[in-house]
Structure 1
């Protein structure tokens, strides 16, 4: 039996700021993880590729406000920093 992936532990090294900000990033990272896992069957961020995250950013927050899309982009940047990837997004 495998343990479920712990997003909080994964992002612990790169999360900074106020408690509410950290909680928002964790909540959004879990949403990103669930959407990618459902569509692409990739459960952990280490299995993700740039195309998976781009797909999410173009699909999920598309109908949301500009501020929400910006916060999702910030969360994706944190994930990329933790994965040590040089992903750039022009959204």
Structure 2
């Protein structure tokens, strides 16, 4: 397998992880009959975002890099809030 094919696979993997977050959120919301963002949503967001950022850096696409990097800041911050809130509830 050549380098281009490997990076294309990385890009598709990142997109699959990123898209999976919507499925996770949809299934959880359907179960609870309200809009819910489970913690897995943020993990898929981060996994997909990191993978897509790596792909964007490889492609040297500044628009794609900026979009993924700024999104990652938001995903990590939201995950922090979820973890912090859970710790407060369990304290």
TM class by shorter-chain length?
Answer: 0.3 to 0.5
TM-score, normalising length from structure 1? 0.36
Relative contact order (C-alpha < 8 Å, sep 6+): which is higher? Answer: 1
Larger Cα-atom Rg: 2
- Structure ranking higher in helix proportion: 2
TM-score, normalising length from structure 2? 0.36
